[in-house]
Structure 1
Amino acid sequence: MRRKRRERKKKKKIRQEEIHPKYIAQRFRLFSKYDQGISLSDHESWYSVLPEKIASHVASRCSCDVIVDAFAGAGGSCIQFATTCKYVIAIENVNSRLMDAKHNAEIYNVAHKIDFILGDAFQIVRSFTGKVDAIFVAPPWGGPNYENGGFFDFGRFQYQLGDLVDFALQVTPNVAISLPRTSSPREIASAVPQGQTFQVEYNYLNAKCKTITVYLGNLAHHGENASADALSNTAC
């Protein structure tokens, strides 16, 4: 029994040398307060967290009273939402990641504005239908494994894009979805219900496209006289 417990502990907390070097090199882009004790307990947390400047930009677009972060991971996005929204509901189905999110939010002094919930977002968010102002959807997409050239293949993953859009719209019409930077514009457009207003934004950091964010509902238009085309490329 003791041996099993030790094995679980080692598996839970990975060492930096086990992470792809490019993510280690960018650790302060992921969390500017990384050296203050930020915790990222597994590979998926490293690969899935949005760079802080991009998360901050998305949070500014999603400013509202109550927002749901449906796939909170280690907390990179919900921390930023807590700076622009009055209340954040952060859902994560892996306990170690949820504990990381809470710990990291405490480092940023925003944990008191976030409700951390362990469980399956697809089940939990149903209870928030019509009760929240916006929802952010950023499931793990496989880290460096998907960067093999060409458009991202949603068919290889658990989460189909159309299903994610439908899932989010059941909660609120105001949706932001974070996608791999190689996502096909045609596939994005086909996943959005006909007649639904949406905007595709390419998020750049240091002149490199890092992610794509799709906004729906009231989040699709931001700023005075702004059009979707005007905001299609955003430097963070």
Structure 2
Amino acid sequence: MYGVDFTADSRQHTLAPFLALQHPAPPHGRQFQKRISWVEQNRRVILSFPSIPSLCFCLFTSFGARTRTKFRIPKRSPASVRMAVQEASENHWQVAKPVSNSKKLKRKKKRVKMSLVKVSRPSASEGISPRTAKYWYHRYSLFSRYDDGIKMDEEGWFSVTPEDIAVRHAERSGTGTVIDCFSGVGGNAIQFARRCYHVVAIDIDPQKVELAFNNAKIYGVEDYIDFIVGDFFQLAPFLKGDVVFLSPPWGGPTYSTIDTFTLDLLKPKDGYSMFQVAQKITHNIIMFLPRNVDLNQVEELSWLSSPPLNLEIEDNYVESYLKGITAYFGDIAWRSPT
């Protein structure tokens, strides 16, 4: 037994009733317990220890009022270990005891009422195929009055101009007669009719013309549109109008896989031939083209006329997503929306 004594404070000390301390596990992993016997006699304290290392550890921890004891909190949960401090009087020693994880505060579980929401899905009667199903989920951006009886075929789902962009085209066209050379299911023709005096809607597919007429009735503008089944290139010499709108087929959804879309990929003829035919009607031309089109080629179109036409290129977004670009030629370039 090794003896150590020190002079106690003038005030009477009441020794804490703890007789055992849990020490960290030794290197070999076994845990042991050091028992400390306190004997206070004649203002001298005798401490008995089994070994000198234990004596040094106890002397260091016994002056708890003057030193800090750090406890390592498990990484798995910073709040999983709580410390309970047993305090005596002002100058008394303090002992920190780890509290078991089982004594956690019980949290009341809130019951959340869940309501089932019916998810609508496309049906075959709407002309939806696996190829066009993704467009169906954006149907209200194509036609805001879709639920009132709008009809489209498979090609119409990925070729119709979104309504917000069609409205923009109509605002820039003015109030004269507009010739929609590839009207499809009527997305642009309907918006032109709502703001212009007269619209000539041309498409070579009789089914699309029938669908466009049905959709125009839903918007109440069928009386302002002349629907014509025919080939634009054959009808062009007989047409007269203030604005020509060109939104030819882009070749299907695969156009987006091309790094640079060139004008020769447009259908049914290349963009240069199409533009020259439109120029014979009027020099005020609107072209709605893919977002990845070669802009240098678009600029070249303005030089096909003498003198060169004014040109304005506009990016068209729907819900922060770039859908395409619109080129305005002639007097409607840089025109304020009406």
Normalised to the residue count of structure 1, the TM-score between the two structures is 0.84
Matched AA of 1:16? I
Write the distance in 1 (CA, Å) between the matches of 2:290 and 2:203.
20
Write the distance in 1 (CA, Å) between the matches of 2:167 and 2:281.
23
Write the distance in 2 (CA, Å) between the matches of 1:18 and 1:211.
24
Matched AA of 1:147? S
* Structure 2, unaligned runs of 5 or more: 1-124
Write the distance in 1 (CA, Å) between the matches of 2:302 and 2:251.
23
Match of 1:132 among 203, 220, 241: 241
Structure having greater relative contact order (Cα 8 Å, sep ≥ 6): 1
Write the distance in 1 (CA, Å) between the matches of 2:263 and 2:330.
23
Larger radius of gyration: 2
Name which of structure 1's ranges 86-95 and 63-72 shifts more when overlaid on structure 2. Answer: 63-72
Write the distance in 1 (CA, Å) between the matches of 2:290 and 2:159.
10
Name which of structure 1's ranges 151-160 and 52-61 shifts more when overlaid on structure 2. Answer: 151-160
Matched AA of 1:144? P
Q: Is residue 285 of structure 2 the alignment partner of residue 175 of structure 1?
A: yes
Write the distance in 1 (CA, Å) between the matches of 2:135 and 2:280.
34
CA RMSD of aligned residues (A): 1.6
Matching residue of 2:261:
152
Aligned residues: 209
Q: Is residue 153 of structure 2 the alignment partner of residue 46 of structure 1?
A: no
Matched AA of 2:205? V
Confirm or deny: 8 A CA contact 1:203 1:213 kept in the other structure. Answer: yes
Write the distance in 2 (CA, Å) between the matches of 1:16 and 1:212.
27
Q: Is residue 336 of structure 2 the alignment partner of residue 223 of structure 1?
A: yes
Question: What pairs with 1:79-118 in structure 2 (closer than 5 Å)?
Answer: 79-118=190-229
Confirm or deny: 8 A CA contact 2:261 2:294 kept in the other structure. Answer: yes
Q: Is residue 166 of structure 2 the alignment partner of residue 75 of structure 1?
A: no
SS at match of 1:104: helix
Bigger proportion of residues as helix: 1
Confirm or deny: 8 A CA contact 1:91 1:121 kept in the other structure. Answer: yes
Name which of structure 1's ranges 58-67 and 189-198 shifts more when overlaid on structure 2. Answer: 189-198
Match of 1:189 among 276, 281, 299: 299
Q: Is residue 174 of structure 2 the alignment partner of residue 36 of structure 1?
A: no
Classify 1:132/1:156 alpha carbon distance in 2 versus 1 (closer, same or farther; 3 Å).
closer
Confirm or deny: 8 A CA contact 2:143 2:150 kept in the other structure. Answer: yes
Q: Is residue 247 of structure 2 the alignment partner of residue 119 of structure 1?
A: no
Shift of 1:26: 0.9
Instruction: Give the percent of matched residue pairs that are identical in Structure 1 and Structure 2.
Output: 35
